[in-house]
Structure 1
Amino acid sequence: MDWKKPGLPGLARFLHRLVDEPLPSRAQKKRAKERYRDKKTANQIMTTVCQFLRFGGQQGWVEAETINQLSEQKHMAYLPPGFDPGEDGQFRTIRAKVIKFEVAVEGYEWLNPEQFAQILGLTRRARDRFLVALLAGTGMRIGEALGLRREDMHLLSNSAGLGCQVAGPHVHVRRRVNSNGALAKARMPRSIPVTNELVTFYADYVFERDQVPEAADVDMVFVNLFRAPLGRAMTYHNAKDLFDRLAKRAGFPARPHMLRHTAATTWIRSKTPRDVVQNLMGHVSASSMEPYVHATDADKREAVERVAALRKAQVQG
């Protein structure tokens, strides 16, 4: 295929090949189970390909005719929460991808209190226990947690001596360039209060960390303590491996971002004002809070029975 003139049929064949061809096996065994990409991943790859072709068009490598075939005009009949269609609806017409798989929108996953307690109990090291508790207690993204510096940990009852006027134990989330590639998505810095239990978990972790000389002068909070290179800042890959192991022991999915959803859902269900939760999560738009409202079977049954009781009372009245 000429990459400068792939054509719609060629790109369609490439998209299907992404899900039809098995991925290289990670295992050495000949009978290792074949792995395949899902359609969502294939769509993400196709998005990257199209963006590269558009870049090629700007450089004069790819013809404008090819670029015009990558998307088509689409009128949005239904708008996502918070979307501004414009005074005359002029923003309802967008450019949408032509070649993609139709993928159902996935629900946001979170851990209920029993599942979280099980995951926390399965941690075998103080560092891992602190990381799990921090994500669930603060709603941080994993990139924000891995990007923490020790100077961000203001865990005294009064941090005035550190030049900080925020009351009580808290942590600061700041957007920086980090050696481990961790990045805080939110551009605006914020502080998040933490509980005394989380302070205790951190103290246990500091004691464990102090046993590794290579970690002594490292400013990053989360570092490698149990495998080489010792003292180096933990990466996304390290965190994923940790959660994969915990999920395998627990027998149900457990990923870092699920704990962010767990924190937000817990706050909302405990009647915390939405604007407070929005600030804790580092969201700019209030509409970003909608996915974190998880209705349980008990919630739905309570709602139905409440209406039934109200109607019964009205009839009797």
Structure 2
Amino acid sequence: MIDEGFQLHLPSVDYLDGLRAADASVNTERNYASRIALYLSYTAALGIDWTRPSLQNLSGYLRWLVNEPLPPRGRRPDPEPRHRRPGTANAHLGTVCELLRWSALRGLVPDTVINILAQPKYLVYLPEGLDPGEDGQNRTVRAKAIKFSVAVPGFEWLVYEDVGRMIAVACHARDKFLLDLLRETGIRIGEALGLRREDMHLLPNSTMLGCKIPGPHIHIVRRPTNANRALAKSRQPRWIPIGADTVNFYTDYQYERDEVPRAASSDMVFVNLFAAPLGEPMKYPSTYELFKRLAKAAGLEAHPHMVRHGTITRWIKDGMPRDTAQDLAGHASEVSMKPYVHITNKEMREHAQRVNEIQKARKTK
């Protein structure tokens, strides 16, 4: 984060340091940094003091976010201009508000600015688990004063066969293993990149490793010290069983990995084998792009987290108890599970037809 004079923008750096101290993921830090940089560039271009924006300034910035075309994704211009969605603009402004609140604690932003960021809102419908209070005092909360009204977004997911198509077009054993591991375990991409060899307990009996868990499995452990800064979201360690096919994919990958001498010294599971720096742990940006390329080659438009949605949905539909699925997924509460259980349009139609048939049968009695 640098200013127009190529000097560090210290308030922003201080805020990002705070995120890192709170063990925020590298992706969160990267996204927040780009949003803050965009806000600072916008205010500097218009001569606005970033520490003292008015309500009109922030509203104008929100409109600018959706009206300003995005830069081209490659060297060639996009066929049609691309724009941010209102939900994305809301997320940008939310990060700006967090920066302003953080800076207010350090005396850089006046309270008058903080007071315009939120306004009282009465909750007619309470979120699940919220106690309204004896006199309903908890129904009034502070809500964002400036935001676009957007519909609740839908969630996309990849079914088992979709990931199979990606595995089929992958050229390298490492990439096939990564895809299969995501599909079978439902782990986040950051959790996969944070795996170390000591986490792979693939024998029928792991007592020699000091582990009493029977059967092949992997351990997910949050490690802020990972060189690639891959971080498990949950602070609670967990283990996930894996099947024979996943073990076979891992074995094939080990043969491929052994052909790269520089990979021998790394204790990380996923390392660079085909591009510099060889043997170094894979990082999120390059892995994300790899996933996108494989998805495109398989005729799909997808991102890694869609695999997790598909896996958890499959667990529930196959009869796994929800509390077991919650533990395997690493969710702290059942509420966190709700966005991950999906139903297809075909299934919705089949359910509706069954209800109609039951109703018809009742009428004929």
TM-score grouping bracket, smaller chain normalisation: over 0.9
Cα offset, 1:13, TM superposition: 1.2
Is the deviation greater in 226-235 or in 50-59?
Answer: 50-59
Deviation, structure 1 residue 54: 1.3
2:129 & 2:301 partners in 1: Cα distance? 31
Secondary structure of the residue aligned to 1:96 is strand
The residue number in structure 1 matching 2:324 is: 276
Residue identity in the other structure for 2:359: R
The letter for the 2-side match of 1:78 is: Y
In the alignment, what sits opposite 2:22?
Answer: none
- C-alpha distance in structure 1 between counterparts of 2:92 and 2:345, whole Å: 37
Give the 5 Å matches for 1:1-317.
Answer: 1-29=48-76, 34-86=81-133, 88-177=135-224, 178-317=226-365
CA offset at residue 30 of structure 1?
Answer: 6.2
Q: Distance in 1 between matches of 2:133 and 2:278?
A: 54
Q: Which deviates more from structure 2 when the two are superposed, residues 116-125 or residues 269-278? A: 116-125
Gaps of 5+ in 1: none
Higher mean displacement: 27-36 or 158-167: 27-36
8 Å Cα contact 1:246/1:254 also seen in 2: no
Aligned positions, number: 317
In structure 2, what residue type is equivalent to 1:289?
Answer: M
Instruction: Indicate if the aligned counterparts of 1:25 and 1:32 stay in contact, CA closer than 8 A.
Output: no
Point out the more displaced range, 248-257 or 225-234.
248-257
1:311 Cα deviation from its structure 2 partner: 2.6
Identity fraction in percent? 53
Q: How far apart are the structure 2 equivalents of 1:287 and 1:41?
A: 23
Structure with larger RCO (C-alpha < 8 A, sep 6+)? 1
Q: CA deviation at 1:214?
A: 0.9
Shift of 1:143: 0.8
Q: Which amino acid aligns with 1:227?
A: A
> Which SS does the other structure have where 1:23 is aligned?
coil
Structure 1 range deviating more: 8-17 or 73-82: 73-82
Counterparts of 1:219 and 1:286, CA distance in 2: 34
Given the superposition, is the C-alpha separation of residues 44 and 31 from structure 1 closer, same or farther in structure 2, using an over 3 Å criterion? Answer: closer
Greater Cα shift, 198-207 or 177-186: 177-186
Q: CA RMSD in A?
A: 1.8
Contiguous gaps of at least 5 residues in structure 2: 1-47
Displacement after TM superposition at 1:179 (Å): 1.3
Distance 1:285 1:37 in 2: 31
Judged with a 3 Å threshold, the aligned counterparts in structure 2 of structure 1 residues 196 and 82 are, in CA distance, closer, same or farther, namely farther
Q: Is the 8 A contact 2:101 2:114 kept in 1?
A: yes
The one-letter amino acid paired with 2:55 is L
CA contact (8 A) 1:82 1:287 kept: no
Name the stretch that deviates more: 291-300 or 127-136.
Answer: 291-300
* Structure 1 residues 181 and 307: CA distance shift in structure 2, 3 A: same
Shift of 1:99: 1.4
